[in-house]
């Protein structure tokens, strides 16, 4: 994930269309601000998304006599 220290927005790698400057600051204020790469944030985001996915129900199978 990329983070803009000026406006606080975060972008995934796929959401950016090439450059490494903040598109929000450029469009809104006309300034070019370099984005900061946050690999730990990307890992936490991926873990949170995986946790939020529905899990398969557990099925208990009893062996009868």
How many separate domains does the chain show? 1
Percentage of residues in the chain having pLDDT higher than 90: 22
Backbone phi, psi, residue 55, to 5°: -95, 150
Would you say residue 41 lies in a domain? yes
Query: Which of 5-14, 29-38, 43-52 is predicted least confidently?
Result: 43-52
Would you say residue 12 lies in a domain? yes
Would you say residue 57 lies in a domain? no
Helix (H, G, I), strand (E, B) or coil at 13: helix
Would you say residue 55 lies in a domain? no
Would you say residue 28 lies in a domain? yes
Q: Is the pTM of this model over 0.75?
A: no
Alpha-carbon distance of 29 to 27, in angstroms, equals 6
How far, in whole angstroms, is CA 47 from its chain's centroid? 10
Would you say residue 59 lies in a domain? no
């Amino acid at each position: 994930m990329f983070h803009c220290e000026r406006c606080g927005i975060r972008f995934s790698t796929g959401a950016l269309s090439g450059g490494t400057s903040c598109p929000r600051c450029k469009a809104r204020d006309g300034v070019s601000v370099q984005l900061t790469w946050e690999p730990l944030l990307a890992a936490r985001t991926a873990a949170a998304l995986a946790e939020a996915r529905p899990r398969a129900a557990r099925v208990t199978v009893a062996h009868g006599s």
